[in-house]
Structure 1
Amino acid sequence: MSDDPTHVQEFFGPRAAGWDARFPDDTPAYAAAVAELGLRPGDAVLDAGCGTGRALPPLRAAVGPKGTVLGADLTPEMLAAAVRAGRDESGALLLTDVARLPLRTGALDAVFGAGLVSHLADPGPNLRELARVVRPGGRLALFHPVGRAALAARHGRLLTEDDLRAEHNIRPLLSGSDWRMVSYVDEDDRYLVVAVRQDPEGARGSSAVSGA
């Protein structure tokens, strides 16, 4: 299932203040998923759909003080919760839609997206936009702190063949969006897809944010 930006804001806005309290044990899982990106000191990374910014501290730890960490989300209440939690100290927050990122082509080394895919309004073009802002050979991590079966059970649903996160769906979707999937994990306590930017188009900008 995918959502348009208005539906995403309507869903997450009222839930933002209590979001972290609902999932208090997820922090180690975020840190472990960030480690799969293979970030180096000085790298530039985007947390796409960052929500309350739980990935921002481990992303900052991975790239160090000279690296660039950005968190993008289209729900103001989520970004406000990130600020209240002090996570804006780990990265710059952008109120924006990942479908239209204000970033230079090839500006980033990696993108991290937690719980992102099922909320993309147009998954193919949206993933291609993420590819646009990543340098050739850069990485994408699509993460959720629980696997597909556990998440479906949590919401009282059954898994279906058209689940976008299923391997037989996400692999060709990524391939058609300038990514090459290199690993797929779907376990009770983790869902993690890692892909590499496969299209050599574009050059790395001198600054991640357009116009900066």
Structure 2
Amino acid sequence: MGSGRSLGRMLTTSVGALLAAGCVAGSPPSSSSGADAVPEGAATGAPTASPGAPAGMSFGPVVSGVQPMGHYTVATGGAAADGDDGTDIVWLDFTGGSPRCVAVYVDPPIIEDITNDVIPIGGRAFLRVRCSPVDAVSMPPAMTDAEGARYDPVFAVYRFRSGGARNVVEGVQTGFSDRVFTWTIGLRHVAPFAIGWVGQDDGNGRQTARVAILQ
């Protein structure tokens, strides 16, 4: 997470503004074990809501708006908070560029991309966000109390807590291979969501994938 971020300013940003980057609607998750709840696909057409979802939100899959690339992109952290507008907000930070991020519900068990280890994640529904291309990872040191993600030495992954969010339980780094960086977000229940980009004026080219999830 970038230092000095004004959470109040970001939390009051409307879901409509978030979706200026665009998203794609889908269908609720299936019950097939160990597979994507909804097949991933490219963003096409104007964003529309799934049946029963608020306008501008979907049950997925959702693809973030494509941003101009050309910079060395580094994943630098994640955090969650109460959006104070009927949503929870999850931030996934990147420095140097804005990779394409695809968010989709998946069924447990949650498997780490490289080791194939089962990673325990709190919650009853699981939203996987995969971002690419990501060239490197620069997460907080193992023993720091830095804001956002903290190192879990037992499973050798980074986790961030709910941050006061009502539906989000925690977020866990579940992979980084072949320039694809993966977070899996544990939720209390399945809910529609949206994803878009928020630029950070920190002088380092910081970009944030902002995921809004209905509480």
| TM-score normalised by the chain length of structure 1 | 0.30
Bigger strand fraction = 2
User: So what's the TM-score if we normalise by structure 2?
Assistant: 0.30
- Structure with larger RCO (C-alpha < 8 A, sep 6+): 2
